[in-house]
Amino acid sequence: MYGKGQICVTSEFVYELKKHSDSFSDDPLMALAKSLPTLPGVSRDVLNPIVGELCSIVFPERYQDECLTDVDFSDLRHLALCIHHEVTGFVTSEKAILKAAELLYQRFSIQVLSPGEIVNSFHGSGVDTSRELAISHDGTNLTTSQVEERDRASLESFLVKHGFSNAERRTILDPGVIDRPRTRWVVKHGSSIVGFSSWGGDELSSYRAFYLVVDENKPFSQKLVDHLIQKATYCLPESKLTLVVLSAPVGSDLTRKTALDRGFRRNANLAVGIGECDLVKMSFNGYVLPEIWSGFKDQVAQSVDLTLPERMPTYDEFIHTGTVLNGKSVPGVVKLSLLAMETLFSPAVFLCKGREAVIVPIQKQYMEMLLDEPKGQMSLLPANEALMHVEKAYFKSKRNAQLFKQSDLLLFYVSGSSGDQAIVGHGRLTSSRVMDVETALLKLKRQSALDETGLRKMADADGNIHAITFDNFRFLDVPVAYAYLKHNQLISAANLVTAERINNETLMNIIRTGTKND
C-alpha cells in the first residue's frame, strides 16, 4: 500500500508470477498484477543491506542456522523493496513476516497486514453494528436510526437550516459505495429531525471525516452529541490510531464544548486539508498494554508530533505523576492522569501494570436496560433512557462501597439463573459515593436502570445507597463464564454474590480470555 491507501505491487512479485505462469496464457492473477501500479525495481546491491537485516528479524532461527531458502530470500526482497520505497503497508500471507509485524513496524515504520485484515478493513472492521434505539423522553419518542434514502429530502432541509451549502450537503449525505458504505445516523424527536451524523468509507486512511449536526435548542442536545460521538469512535478500526476530524456547523458551541470534553482538540496544524474550525481527536479503539506501548507511542509521534515516554507508566506513576507529553504543538510539559489519557485517546483502555478492577454482579434484566449491546433486538416498546447516555449510573447497597476507587475498571458479571452467568464487558469508574435516594433520583435517575421503588428497596435504614457512575463501556468479544472463573481460581469463595475486587494479574487474565486474537 502506497500513500493514502493506493494499492501497488512489487516488480519482484511480477517477476515471480512470470516464472510460474508461462504455461498459462490467460493467468488471471498475472492480468491483475499487470493492471496495478508497480513499484520501480531496485538493484540487489541496494536491497541486500535491508535484506540482511530482515533475515534476523523475520527468520531468526533459520538465519542463525544458515539455512534460508530461495523462497525465503524472495519474500524478503519483496519486503525490502517496499521498505526502500518507504511504502506504508505490506500485505502478505507469509506467517513468519506476519509474526514479526510489530518488530518490523518499530524498525521500519511499515505496517504488515494479512489479506484477511485488508478484507476486514472494508467489511466489518470499523463498521457500526450498534442497534437502533427508541426511548421515551418526557412523553415523546426520541429515536436514533440508520438513514434511509426516503429521509433525504427532510435531511436536506435540516442541513440547509444549519447553513450547509449544496456541495457540503452532498459530502455529508454521501452513502458511499457497496464495498465501502458510509455510516449515517438520524435522530428524531417525534417526527422532527433533531440530529444527524455521518462517517466512514475511508477505512484505509489514517483520518476519519466525521460530520455532526445537532439542534442545540433541545434540552437533550448534549446527550445526543455524546451519544453520536461515541457511536463514531466505537466503530473505528481496531488497535490502530485514527485521527477523527469533526466538522460541525458554525455556531455549534454546545457541540464543540462537548467534543472538547471528550478528547477532541482544536486543529494545531496536524494535517493539511483540515479546516480551521474543525476539531481533531486521536482515537485508539482497543487495549493499550505495556507490550504494544512502543508501537502505540510511534503511531502517536508520527500522527500528531506528540512524544510519549519510552515505556508505559505503571498505575502508580499514572496516579501520582501522570504521563508526560512533549511536542511542538504542546506548550511546555504536560502531565496527564490515567483518566485524562483514556479520554484523550478514547475509546482506548490503558491496561497498565498495577491497574485493578472490581467485578460487579448485575441481573440480566437490568443489564439490558443499562448497556447497549451491539445488534441487540429492537423492542416494540421504548427502551430505557440510560442506553443513550455515555456515562451510566449503577446502584447497590452501601456494603463494600470502600472497594471502589476512581479509574478502576468495572467488570460486569451477569448473575442469576436466567442470566448468562458470565462477565460480559467492562466500563471505567468515574465516581463512587454514598447518597440518599432523593439525591440519586434527582441527579442520576435518567442514566440508570432502577426506578424509585427499586432504589428504596436497596437503601439502608437511613435511606442511603451506593451510587456508581461509569463510562467507556465495551462488551468483551467472548463472555468469560463463571465456570472458567471458578476453575482457574480467579474469584473468591463468595461466588460473586456481591462486588469483588481483583488484582491486575486476574484482570489481565479475564481481558485476554474475553478478547479474540484472530
Summarised one tens digit per residue, pLDDT across range 383-414 is: 788 888 899 999 999 888 999 998 899 999 99
CB neighbour class for 88 (10 Å; exposed up to 12, middle 13-18, buried from 19): middle
Q: Given pLDDT bands bounded at 50, 70 and 90, which one contains residue 339?
A: very high
Question: Is the pLDDT confidence value at 204 over 80?
Answer: no
Measured CA to CA, the distance from residue 8 to residue 11 in angstroms comes to 10
> Are the beta carbons of 271 and 302 closer than 8 angstroms?
no
Q: What is the pLDDT of residue 62?
A: 85
Looking at the predicted structure, is the pLDDT value of residue 19 above 70?
no
CB 427 within 8 A of CB 470: yes
pLDDT at 125: 46
Nearest CA to 133 out of 258, 231, 248, 235 is that of 231
Identify the three-state secondary structure at position 379.
coil
Using the structure block, give the residue that is written with the C-alpha cell 467489511. Answer: 123
Where do the DSSP E strands lie in 3-102?
89-91
| Overall average pLDDT of the 75-89 stretch | 85
- Give per-residue pLDDT as tens, 117-134: 554 444 444 556 667 888
Angle, in degrees to the nearest 10, between helices 152-161 and 166-173: 130
Q: Is 86 left (phi over 0), alpha (psi -120 to 50) or beta?
A: left
Query: Considering the chain, what is the average pLDDT of its residues?
Result: 84
Q: What is the reported pLDDT for 386?
A: 84
Residue 16: is it exposed, middle or buried by C-beta count within 10 angstroms (0-12/13-18/19+)? middle
Q: Bigger pLDDT: 145 or 119? A: 145
Q: Report d(CA 376, CA 387) in Å as an integer.
A: 11
Higher per-residue confidence, 412 vs 8: 412
Q: Quick one: average pLDDT of 193-213?
A: 85
Residue 353's SS3 state is coil
pLDDT at 20 over 60: no
The mean-pLDDT minimum among 30-34, 180-184, 228-232, 283-287 falls in 30-34
Spatial distance between the Cα atoms of 32 and 26, rounded to a whole number of angstroms: 11
Q: Identify the three-state secondary structure at position 91.
A: strand
Mean pLDDT of 335-349: 94
Give the type of residue at 12. E
Percentage of the residues of the chain whose pLDDT score is greater than 70: 82
Above 70 in pLDDT, residue 372? yes
Cβ-based neighbour number of residue 328 at 10 Å = 11
DSSP H or E run through 325: strand 323-327
Cell readout for 58 is 523475520
User: pLDDT (tens digit, 9 = 90+) per residue, 416-456?
Assistant: 765 578 999 999 999 999 999 999 999 998 898 888 898 99
Q: What would the mean pLDDT of 149-156 be, rounded to a whole number?
A: 90
- Whether the pLDDT of residue 239 is over 70: the answer is yes
- Residue-wise pLDDT tens digits, 254-303: 999 999 999 998 865 454 445 667 899 999 999 999 999 999 999 888 88
Phi-psi region of 252 (alpha: psi -120 to 50; beta: other; left: phi over 0): beta
Radius of gyration of the chain (CA): 26
Q: Are 215 and 195 in contact (CB under 8 A)?
A: yes
In the structure grid, which three cell numbers stand for residue 327, read together?
Answer: 511536542
Question: Residue 50: is its pLDDT beyond 90?
Answer: yes
Alpha helices in 187-292 (DSSP H): 221-234, 253-261
Q: Which of 395, 470, 365 is nearest to 425 (CA)?
A: 470
Predicted local distance difference test score (pLDDT) of residue 9: 61
Residues contacting residue 432 through CB under 8 Å, at least 6 positions apart: 401, 404, 405, 406, 466, 467, 468, 469
| Other CB atoms within 10 A of residue 157 CB | 10
347: preceding bond cis by omega (within 30 degrees): yes
More confident site: 64 or 420: 64
How far is 497 from 416, CA to CA, in rounded Å?
9
Backbone phi, then psi, for 353, in 5-degree steps? -65, 130
Band (pLDDT 50/70/90 cuts) for residue 115 is low
Element (DSSP H or E) covering residue 152: helix 152-161
Q: For residue 422, which phi and psi values (nearest 5 degrees)? A: -160, 155
pLDDT of residue 2 exceeding 50, the answer is no
Sign of CA dihedral 283, 286, 289, 292: negative
- Sort strands 279-284 and 265-266 into parallel, antiparallel or unpaired: antiparallel
Measured in whole angstroms, the distance separating CA 436 from the mean position of its chain's CA atoms is 36
Find which of 20-24, 167-171, 283-287 is predicted with most confidence, using mean pLDDT.
Answer: 283-287
Neighbouring C-beta atoms of residue 375, cutoff 10 Å: 8
Q: Is 176 within 8 Å of 200 (Cβ atoms)?
A: yes
Q: Is the pLDDT of residue 93 over 50?
A: yes
User: What is residue 26's predicted lDDT score, i.e. its pLDDT?
Assistant: 55
Q: Is the dihedral of CA 305, 311, 315, 320 positive or negative?
A: negative
| Percent above pLDDT 90 for the chain | 45
- Helical ranges in 396-436 per DSSP H: none
Give the three cell numbers for residue 491: 474469584
C-alpha cell at 307: 512524544
Q: Which pLDDT score is estimated for 418?
A: 58
User: What are the φ/ψ torsions at residue 262 (nearest 5 degrees)?
Assistant: -100, 15
